Structure 1
Amino acid sequence: MQSFKEAFSRHLRHPSTGPVGWLVKQFLVRRNGYLEKEAARLLGIQPHDSVLEVGFGPGVGLQYALGQMGGDGRGKVHGLEMSPDMIHSATRRLHQHIASGKLQLTLGNVMELPYPDNSMDRIFHVNCYYFWDDLDQGCKELYRVLSPGGAMVCTLNSKMVKLTIEKDFNKYADKYDPDGYMTSLERTGFTGVRMEHLKDGEKSFEAIFAGKE
């Protein structure tokens, strides 16, 4: 059991192929689906926006963001992911949007975002900041690429994250503390940083908001 927990934890941080990887992918789709939907909704995406999701996993959040944007504007959704297997999975799910030019997927790391300064109007991520190697560096990069007047949203289910950590299924979430993450956001220049406790039907979750003046 301990070796399974170790493998599950490792795949949560960096999803890959294999039986445990498949299980983690299903877990992400089932457990994170509503968090992805809410993050995209809370951003207030407009048809002309450039939108970035960091750590998009199977691509559920990208799909919601594209739906919020609609197909008539000049906006575009960008996805950054460090797992080649998740890029493959999201490409299969969203190949039509990639072909139309509305979606671009990139292999990379939040520590060094491959986007120009002030290039994104909206940024979101779900259940991933606590895996970053350096919170301040990740927040600094997000701040750099967010345009003035832009917004960022992070959604998470604290209760579920704590449970997976306590049960040893999420051993690499060592930077989980939301207060520490919000402190990093403020330290790197973000304004209006706050956390709200919200609900999607019967499901409770937290949303962390931040902006750039």
Structure 2
Amino acid sequence: MSIEDVVRIHAKPSGEEGKKVGMDMNEHHYELWRWGLGHISIRPDSWILDVGCGGGRAVSILGDIVEAGKVYGIDHSPEMVELATVFNREAVERGHVTIIHSSVSELPFPDGMFDIVTAFETCYFWPDIVEDLKEVRRVLKDDGRVLIVNEMYEHASFEERNTPYNEVEGMNIFSARDYRELLEAAGFSSVEIDEVPENNWITIIAIK
């Protein structure tokens, strides 16, 4: 599979191939998600939105944490909405989790609805990241937090691996400095960044 095909199927998983990608993400990103979530404290009554929820395992992890709260997941791929709904079937049926077909660029929620918005392995593909971060900020409560967790970011140690992906239309791999500037441009404050350079992992937290 070419790099262009890899980017295409991960940007918007579709068909049987897309469902397989979603299931693979559920399996292979677990440690990354756990590491990223370890950077924030989450109250059990929090309302959380997971943007680009993919196969739905991150939603499941969040649902277990916020037993008295609520978790929403959105994805712009109908296949991922279906997969995430099935993965979280019991929580969906009792109203603890809701999965919606939507784009980050136009979130179907009122202002100030969420305590936390998470974005795992998805910012690479956002159409207009500053405007999309502004939309994320809109649905956060005052002092709410956005948590971004990625397993690829611009770093000299991974330049040879990452550059071909960064050159494909529709994918952008940002540096730690880029994330800080993008979030500040979108109106966020108190941007904190943690990196694991040997893994090329990055977590970014910012406050509305």
Q: TM-score range by the shorter chain?
A: 0.7 to 0.9
Contact 2:11 2:125 in 1 (8 A): yes
Give 1:119 deviation, angstroms. Answer: 0.7
Amino acid across the alignment from 1:66:
G
2:203 is equivalent to residue 181 of structure 1: no
Identity rate of aligned residues, in percent? 25
| Residues 18-37 of structure 1 aligned to structure 2 (within 5 Å) | 18=16, 20-37=17-34
The separation in 2 between residues aligned to 1:142 and 1:159, in whole angstroms, is: 21
Give the match's secondary structure for 1:47: coil
Structure 1 partner of 2:49: 52
1:6 aligns with 2:10: no
Give 1:150 shift: 1.2
Alignment of 1:60-209 (within 5 A): 60-70=57-67, 73=68, 75-158=69-152, 165-166=162-163, 171-172=168-169, 174-178=171-175, 179-198=177-196, 205-209=201-205
Instruction: Name the CA distance, whole Å, in 2 between partners of 1:30 and 1:163.
Output: 26
Residue 32 of structure 1 deviates from its aligned partner by 1.8
Cα offsets for 1:111-153 (capped at 9, x unmatched): 1111111110011111111211101111100111111121111
> Cα distance, 1:164 vs. partner?
5.8
Query: Is this contact kept in 1: 2:166–2:173, CA < 8 A?
Result: no
What is the deviation of 1:197?
Answer: 1.9
Structure 1-normalised TM-score? 0.84
Superposed CA RMSD: 2.6
Q: Which runs of 5+ in 1 are unaligned?
A: none
Query: 1:8: how far off?
Result: 2.3
Residues 54, 124 of structure 1: 8 Å contact kept: yes
Distance 1:154 1:146, change over 3 A: same
**Residues 77 and 181 of structure 1: CA distance in aligned 2, closer, same or farther (over 3 Å):** same
Shift of 1:40: 3.5
Helix, strand or coil at the partner of 1:44: coil
Paired residue secondary structure (2:15): coil
Query: Unaligned stretches of 5+ in structure 2?
Result: none
Task: State the 1:182 CA deviation.
Answer: 2.4
Q: Structure 1 stretch 151-160 or stretch 52-61: which is displaced more?
A: 151-160
Distance 1:168 1:198, change over 3 A: closer
